[in-house]
Chain A
Amino acid sequence: MYHSHWAYFLKKLENRVEGEHMRCIIVGIALSSVVVSTLLSSQDSAPEVKKLRQEVDELREMISKLQRQKKAPGYRKGSDADISINSELARLNETVAELRSELEGNAKSGFLLTGYTSFDWTDAQGEDNEFSGVKFAPIFHYQYGQLFQFEGELELILKEDGETETELEYAAGTLFLNDYMGLQMGKFLSPIGQYVQNLHPSWINKLPSNPLGFGHDGAAPTSNVGIALRGGLPKVFDTRSNYVLFVSNAPTFGVADDGDVVVGASGKTTANDVSKTFGGRFAINPVSGMEVGISSATGKIAEKITVGTDTYNISRDYDVYGFDAMYNVNGFDFKAEHIEQHIGENSASTLTGGKWRAWYAQASYQFTSFKFEPVLRYSDYHNPEQERNQWAVGLNYLFANNVIAKLAYEYNTDEDDDTVNSNANNNRVLAQFAFGF
């Protein structure tokens, strides 16, 4: 009977709201069930604070008891008992002060500023050498116990004309629903692959430049605005694994200021009248120091077209596939990643779709006896207008593990552009000083 009522209700609901709206409602119901079930199973997230409070209360009680003894009839100042009680009171008061200080250190709510900064010098073929980049990327963390965390990164870059470019790289809150799941909301770095979300900060990246296609408007999506569920999973056959599932606003497709056709896969706060992007990543850690991940997303991509005086959005199919692998063993570090964005066609547009593909493989070695780190990387970037590849060889000096000087040489090739000294063909010497704080 209940089932037939539910079926009738859902049928009625489906008739009223179709397609995208129905999916949103179902996602909403699913998320609500996650939150409600978590609230049902909520536990005290700070038992150590409770324990400390209990200890302080016990000590206070002991102090009161000793003070009562001092007021008892027959009690004499200067007696052995008085000396002993005074000494005990002093000790207890000291312990209470220490515990109070510890309690304050255990505050659930707190704020931390971290981030990274880098300073670049470039000498490219056919151009004068120059101090080519200053980047400052502060990251703000706010945390409430083990329940909630907000983090936001600003990227401040000094441009050629001296103006400062500001970008909100990400700003997302994560509600930790249980040990295996966090609900992330806001603008978050793309979970497709690993480079964009974890390896791009200059104190982490082992070369001064990004691999081809892994920068802004390349083949790898950079960020999403939406919601994600993410976390680590319980071990299966002694193997750790982690996942991300997300729903976000659609990316955009169009012509950039420099005339290139680009996939704008950085997070936006508009749906552009096309359906959402659904995606995820799953990774396993088969052996110590190794992670292998696959990722994918699907949905529509929005393109703004103008007919006469009217401007409106059209949509194309949008699919992304990613594969990434990392292995760190005995000072050797290997990283490889492949990402493809497939853009469908729409006859209403003059632009053609196609495949935006990038991959790279990188190896480096950290000596234990001295602080040098040689690095070698090959990267390849393909889109319907370009076919580029690059070898990069570098040597880093680690003043500390987060204070690094890098020197590198890039051999750049653009298969479709044989113009002498064309930008994409210029080899470059790069130097960078990077610092993570």
Chain B
Amino acid sequence: MKSLLKLGILPLLLAMGLSTLVTADEVKADSINGAQLWSDTCMRCHNFRGPSDLSKRAWKYSMQHMRVRAGLTGKETRDLLAFILESKTKQDSK
């Protein structure tokens, strides 16, 4: 197990590094996918935080934090953020 873990880490690092060269161009956020992710992912660990709980600016930073904590991809993080910001009402969209 030990040697398997040690031996496994290095090729994985290399393979993942090389995979960045062929990363798909996924810049545009998809709020519909974000809505699905919101219902699938967030409540697994904690109670829902409503879109109006945080400001637009705070959501941007919080989602990047959740990217690390929840093991989200960059695209999933952008989709979730797009959904949350679109869901904010005009009154609370500071």
Residues of A at the B interface (CB closer than 8 Å) are 23, 26-27, 30-31, 33-38, 40-41, 43, 47, 105, 110-112, 114, 141, 143, 146, 149, 151, 174, 176-182, 184, 194, 197-199, 203-204, 229-234, 240-245, 247, 278-280, 283, 285, 288-291, 296-298, 319, 326-328, 333, 366, 398, 401-402, 404, 436
Chain B 42-75, CB-CB to A under 8 Å as 1, else 0, gives 0111111110010011101110110111111111
Task: Report, as a range, how many residues of chain B touch the other chain.
Answer: 35 or more
Is A105 in contact with B57, judged by CB distance below 8 angstroms? yes
Q: How far is the CA of A111 from the CA of B58 in the complex (A)?
A: 9
Residue of A nearest to B61 (CB): A112
Quick check: B73 and A280 within 8 Å, CB to CB?
no
Do residues B67 and A182 form an inter-chain contact, with CB atoms below 8 A? Answer: yes
Given A112-B58, A328-B44: A232 and B72 interface contact (C-beta under 8 Å): yes
CA–CA, A149 to B76, complex, Å?
A: 17
A43 and B43 alpha carbons, distance in the complex (Å)? 32
Complex interface bits, B1-31 against A, C-beta within 8 A gives 1, otherwise 0: 1100110011011101111110111110000
Given A230-B68, A244-B71, A278-B6, 17 further pairs, Cβ under 8 A: A30-B17, A31-B17, A34-B17, A36-B17, A37-B17, A38-B17, A40-B21, A105-B57, A112-B57, A112-B58, A229-B13, A231-B72, A247-B9, A297-B5, A298-B5, A319-B1, A436-B46
Residues of B within 8 A of A401 (CB): 47-50, 53
How far, in Å, is B40 (CB) from chain A's closest CB? 4
A27-B13, A178-B23 known; A231 and B73 CB under 8 Å? yes
B interface with A by C-beta (< 8 Å): 1-2, 5-6, 9-10, 12-14, 16-21, 23-27, 39-41, 43-50, 53, 56-58, 60-62, 64-65, 67-76
CB atoms of A242 and B74 under 8 A apart: no
Residue in A closest to B14 when the chains form the complex, CB atoms: A30
A-B contact pairs, 23 of them (CB 8 A): A30-B14, A33-B18, A36-B17, A112-B57, A114-B65, A149-B61, A149-B68, A177-B20, A179-B26, A181-B16, A182-B68, A203-B47, A231-B71, A232-B67, A232-B73, A278-B5, A289-B39, A326-B44, A326-B45, A366-B47, A401-B49, A401-B50, A401-B53
